[in-house]
Structure 1
C-alpha cells in the first residue's frame, strides 16, 4: 500500500514550537519508512504538529476526507479526546510508550530524591547530615500500566522492591522471579485492577503516577487517597499534574500525612510563583523536564518511520488511540 504523508502545518515553522529540524527529521523518517512526503491535498496520512487546536484538526480532516491516519507527536492527547475529534472514522495514533525510557529514569531519580531528602539537603546552605532511607525492598505502587510503568519496573529490578501496578486493564506488567527484598534480584510485580487502589495504598512506601489523563483519572489521588498512605510514604508524579488534587497534596504535606513529593508535573502548570509547593523543602519540582527535546524528537521520528512502514505493509500501527478510553 502506498503511504502518502503530509505534515501539518504545511508551512515549515508555522506552528509555535515546531523547529524546522523536527519537520525535516519527520520528512526523513517518512522516506525511510517507504512513504512519500506530499501536500495535504494528496495525503492519506497526516503527522499533526500543531500544539492543541482540535477544532483545527477536525476542520482539516473534514476538508481532506481521504486522510485515514493521523499521527500525534505527544503521548498525552487529552485535549483531542475531550473535543470529540477522535470520533471520526480515522485511525489516530500518538507517541505513547515512545518516551518511556527517559521518563522512567526521571521517576526513579525522584523516588531516590524523596527517600534521601535531597530537596531539603540542596536548600540547606551548610553542612547538615540527614538519615537516608534506602529504596531496597520498598513497597512501590505504580498507577498506570503503559510504557513508563513497564520500564520503571525493569529499572527497579536491582532494588528488590515489592511492586504493585494498578491499572485499568488486566494484562500483567513487569517481570517475574526473584526474592522479595533481596538486592540484585528482580521482585515479582503484581498487576491489580483500579478498584484495588484503596486496599493497596496503606501498604505503599512510594506511590508513582504514570498513567494517561482521562475524566476518570483526573484527581485520582485526592485527600481520601493521600489519607490512606502511611506517613512515611512519598508521592511521585511523572504523568499529568491534574492526576493529583494539588490543594489536597499541600494539606497532606502540611499535616504530615505523607513525607515527601517529587513532581515533574503540576496543576496548575507552570506552577505559579509563590505557590506553597515551591517553599516546602520536602517537595522537589522539576518543571516538566523528564524528557529532553532531542530525545523526544528522535523517538518521534522512529515512531513515524515504523508506522509509515506498518501502514504500507498493512500491519497494525503503534500507539493507536482508543477513543473510548481516551488514550
Structure 2
C-alpha cells in the first residue's frame, strides 16, 4: 500500500507542544514513518501542506485558502476537543475533520467530581474568607441526594454524570438529541433544561462552543437557580455570561462557582473574576493529564490513520453543521 503523506504541525506556543514532540510522534506512528513530515514554523507548514493528504495539528495554525495551499489534503486531525476556530473558515468539502473527543474522559470525571465537592464543602467560600484572614465556619453535608444538572452529554458530560451518580447525586442531563444515558436519572433536550434550573444544586456546563451554545447560560438562566446553587464550567468560557455570574456571586444571589473555562484566556491579571467572592478559577488545565493525554490521543489518531488508509469511516469525526 502506498504510504499516506502525513504532515504534523505543532505550534510552539501551544500548551501541548512539549507533549507532541517529533520523536514521540515518529515512535507512535510507525506506519507513517517514511511519509511523515514534522514542523513548528510557518515555512514548515507551507511545505507540509503542499504534499499532505493528512494534517495532524497540535495548537492553532493558519489554515486559510486550503484548496490552493493543500490540494491533496483529505483529513485534518486536531489534538484537542474544541474545533470552533477550525470551522470559522469553512473547510473544503472533501476535507474531513476529527478531534480528540473522549481523550479527556478519566480526568474530566475526576475534575467534575472535585469541583462539585468543592462547592458542596464551601471551598470557594473559605478561600474568599482566607484572603482577609477571616475565620468563617460553614459546615455542609454530603452531596448524596443533591441534584446536578449537566449541560452537554458528550464525552465530558458523560464522564461527569458517571462520577456524580456514583456519589449518590440525582443527575439531570441535557443534550441536543435528548438520548438516554445510563448515568442520568432524567434526560432533557434543547431548551428543556431551563425548567429544571430551580431544582438544581449544581449546574455543570460541559458543552462545546457552537453558534447554538454561545451565551446559552446568561442572566436569565442564572436567576432561575436557587441561591444556594453553584456553577461549574468545564466546557467553553463563551457559553457562560461570566459578568452576570460575577454579579450574582458579588451580591449573594448564587453561592459559588468553579471555572476551568474562562471568557478570555489567559485571564488578564486585572479581570474581576480573580477577585469575585466565592469563585475558584483554574487556568483551563483541569481536564489535562500531562502523562496520559498525548499517548491516548496518538493511539486514537493511529487507529484512525489505519482506517483512513483502508477507506473505512473515521472515528471522532466532527459534524461541521453542529460544530462538534
Aligned residues: 307
User: Take 1:191 and 1:229, find their aligned partners in 2: how far apart are those partners?
Assistant: 18
| 2:36 counterpart residue number | 38
| Correspondent of 1:302 among 299, 302, 314 | 299
Tell me the TM-score normalised to structure 1 length: 0.85
Which is further off, 193-202 or 304-313? 304-313
* Structure 1 position 158 matched with structure 2 position 166: yes
User: Take 1:301 and 1:312, find their aligned partners in 2: how far apart are those partners?
Assistant: 16
Rate the CA distance shift 1:46–1:230 in 2: closer, same or farther, 3 A. Answer: same
Asked whether the 8 Å contact 1:35–1:309 carries over to 2, the reply is: no
Q: CA deviation at 1:264?
A: 0.7
User: Take 2:276 and 2:243, find their aligned partners in 1: how far apart are those partners?
Assistant: 14
* Structure 1 position 48 matched with structure 2 position 57: yes
Q: CA deviation at 1:223?
A: 0.3
| Correspondent of 1:206 among 202, 205, 220 | 202
* Structure 1 position 65 matched with structure 2 position 71: yes
Which fold has the larger relative contact order, with Cα–Cα distance below 8 Å and residues 6 or more apart in sequence?
1
Q: CA RMSD in A?
A: 2.3
* Structure 1 position 83 matched with structure 2 position 89: yes
Runs (4+) off by over 6 Å? none
* Structure 1 position 168 matched with structure 2 position 171: no
* Structure 1 position 250 matched with structure 2 position 246: yes
Aligned positions of 1:162-311 closer than 5 A: 162-175=170-183, 188-290=184-286, 291-311=288-308
Q: Specify every segment of 5 or more residues in structure 1 that has no aligned partner in the other structure, as ranges.
A: 176-187
User: Take 1:195 and 1:298, find their aligned partners in 2: how far apart are those partners?
Assistant: 37
| 2:102 counterpart residue number | 97
- 1:94-153, Cα deviation, whole Å (9 max, x unpaired): 111211221231121111111111133245247653212421111111010111111112
Which is further off, 314-323 or 257-266? 314-323
Rate the CA distance shift 1:293–1:2 in 2: closer, same or farther, 3 A. Answer: farther
| 2:117 counterpart residue number | 112
Q: CA deviation at 1:257?
A: 2.0
Asked whether the 8 Å contact 1:3–1:308 carries over to 2, the reply is: no
Asked whether the 8 Å contact 1:237–1:262 carries over to 2, the reply is: yes
Q: CA deviation at 1:81?
A: 1.3
